[in-house]
């Protein structure tokens, strides 16, 4: 377990930003697009062109959980909510997670927007 100085909010902020960047990179990278690491990323972009229904919503959630559990071991996913934004032809994916081993047990939420 790493040492975290509670009085040093800058360190916690950097950790949070590093995790947020990692989540974004994992979800926005298509599997097979990184040379030498063919399994890095997710298959979200191959799913989003389907009409959002309960089956597709479950498939998207499963893809997110699978990718983040494998590639980002620093977080514990608490919830995933998907909202279809028909006006802009996109999906808004809200991912709630906690950073493991964080002194401040705070839940963060990350918004991932998928354009169809």
Q: How far is CA 101 from the centre of its chain?
A: 18
**Is pLDDT larger for residue 109 or for residue 97?**
97
Q: Is residue 4 part of a domain?
A: no
CATH of the domain at 88: 3.10.450.40
Residues 94/83, Cβ–Cβ less than 8 Å = yes
pLDDT of residue 109: 80
pLDDT of residue 42: 92
Radius of gyration of the chain (CA): 15
List, for residues 36-54, the tens digit of each pLDDT value. 989 999 998 888 777 778 8
Pairing of strands 90-99, 107-115: antiparallel
> To the nearest whole number, what is the mean pLDDT of the chain?
81
Entry pTM? 0.79
Q: Is residue 108 part of a domain?
A: yes
Q: Is residue 95 part of a domain?
A: yes
Q: Is residue 22 part of a domain?
A: yes
Which residue range is the domain that position 93 belongs to?
9-115
List, for residues 7-31, the tens digit of each pLDDT value. 444 355 557 888 889 999 999 999 9
- Is it the case that residue 3 has pLDDT exceeding 80? no
Separation between Cα atoms, residue 102 and residue 113, nearest integer Å: 27
pLDDT of residue 44: 87
């Amino acid at each position: 377990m790493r040492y975290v100085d509670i009085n040093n909010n800058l360190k916690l902020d950097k950790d949070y930003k590093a995790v947020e960047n990692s989540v974004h990179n994992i979800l926005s990278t298509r599997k097979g697009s990184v040379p030498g690491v063919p399994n890095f990323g997710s298959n979200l972009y191959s799913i989003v062109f389907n009409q959002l229904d309960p089956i597709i919503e479950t498939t998207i959630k499963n893809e997110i959980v699978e990718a983040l559990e494998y590639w980002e071991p620093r977080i514990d996913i608490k919830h995933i909510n998907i909202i279809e934004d028909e006006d802009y032809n996109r999906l808004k994916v809200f991912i709630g997670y906690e950073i493991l081993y964080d002194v401040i047990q705070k839940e963060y939420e990350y918004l991932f927007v998928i354009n169809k």
